[in-house]
Amino acid sequence: MIGVAKRFLSGNTVARTEEPLSVFSDFRIEKELMGKFELTLTSHNLSNNPGHSLIDVESEIIVDDFIFKIKQVSETVSYKQVTAISNFFDLNDNYVPNLIFNQNSFNTYANFALSGTNYTFSSSVEGIREIPEFGMTNSVALINLICQEYGCEYEIMPNNRIHFSPQIGNVTQDQFRYAYNISNITANFDSSNLKTVIKGYGANNLMVEYVAPTAQLFGRREAEPIRDDRFTIASNLLEYISKEIQPNPDTNIEIDIIEGSEGLGENISLGNTVWLIHEPLGIEYQTRIYSYTQRMVKSDLIISNVQLGNTVTKTLNNIFIDNRLRR
């Protein structure tokens, strides 16, 4: 069931009312790994659709224990078109005014980042690190900083919870196979963020430079240098900065799933490693689910579109670069 909730002033107190949303169309949820989590739909103004009257900016839409905050409404007499985002992004408005110093555990950082919010977390990430001057920004920025420092990922879960893991998802043998369970495949390449060179500065005038192998192909494209006095050993700093640039074009593969198809396992989950097979293009390799789109079909949420990226073995990125090198 899908519900709509709205808060309003009742005297000097804030009250909340919730009604089911029964008549709607064009339902769509887009969810990305550590990114967008957005819902769009069109609600129709009918007597058997009690939730329609509650639709307004900042009202909430509840779907399977996920809460989406309405940000945009286009209204006519007969319908309302809605765009809503996960209430996780309300944490952009939660400013954490303090700092913590010295070395701390992962859980200490996560609890600190979520202080003052109604979000909880679960985690399979461990380790003690020092993140200099951690705090004095919003909760989402702090969560992203934690993941950057620990090399981990997070996923927005139901009931106002986020889950941290070294890598979201599981390695599966599920297959996305052309003409079997996928009807279309589109490869997208974007070099806007490509960098091939970066310098790093550590303590005691330490300086290193990392040059990616792809500099031979794309030339020297230098990123902003990194300065971090925690590093006193050149090899450690070099390893660190090498992971802070994107030496290849962004690559993702968009596929359309054939409705009612089999062979994808019971669940398609963000971060899962799956097989992509397209015999006419000679493609057969493992890749990860980067995002998916859900639609409503006969009261059931089904996944209709998937984007894949960050492949494990031979990737479209490799194929792209190999082809460029052969020219």
205-244: pLDDT as tens digits: 999 999 999 999 999 999 999 999 989 999 999 999 999 9
Domain match, 237 and 298 both: no
Tokens coding 142: 């702090």
Q: Is the dihedral of CA 161, 166, 169, 170 positive or negative?
A: negative
pLDDT over 90 at 314, yes or no: no
- Give the pLDDT confidence score for residue 263 in this predicted structure: 54
Same domain (yes/no): 179, 294: yes
Burial class (CB in 10 A: 0-12, 13-18, 19+), 187: middle
Paired with 255 in beta bridges are 185, 306
Name the percent of the chain lying above pLDDT 70: 92
State whether 204 and 260 are in the same domain: no
Residues 175 and 254 occupy one common structural domain: yes
Residue-range definition of the domain harbouring residue 13: 2-87
Q: In degrees, to the nearest 5, what angle opens at C-alpha 212 toward C-alphas 207 and 216?
A: 125
Where does residue 260 fall: left (phi above 0), alpha (psi -120 to 50 degrees), or beta otherwise? left
Most confident range, picked from 114-118, 175-179, 184-188: 114-118
Mean pLDDT of 55-81: 98
pTM, 2 dp: 0.85
Measured torsion, CA atoms of residues 91, 92, 96, 102, in degrees rounded to the nearest 10: 100
Work out how many domains the chain is built from and give that number.
4
Q: Find out whether 44 and 52 touch, Cβ atoms under 8 Å.
A: yes
Q: Are residues 106 and 237 in the same domain?
A: no
Residues 144 and 160 in one domain: yes
pLDDT score of 262 more than 80: no
| 186 plus 292 within the same structural domain | yes
| CATH number of 150's domain | 3.55.50.40
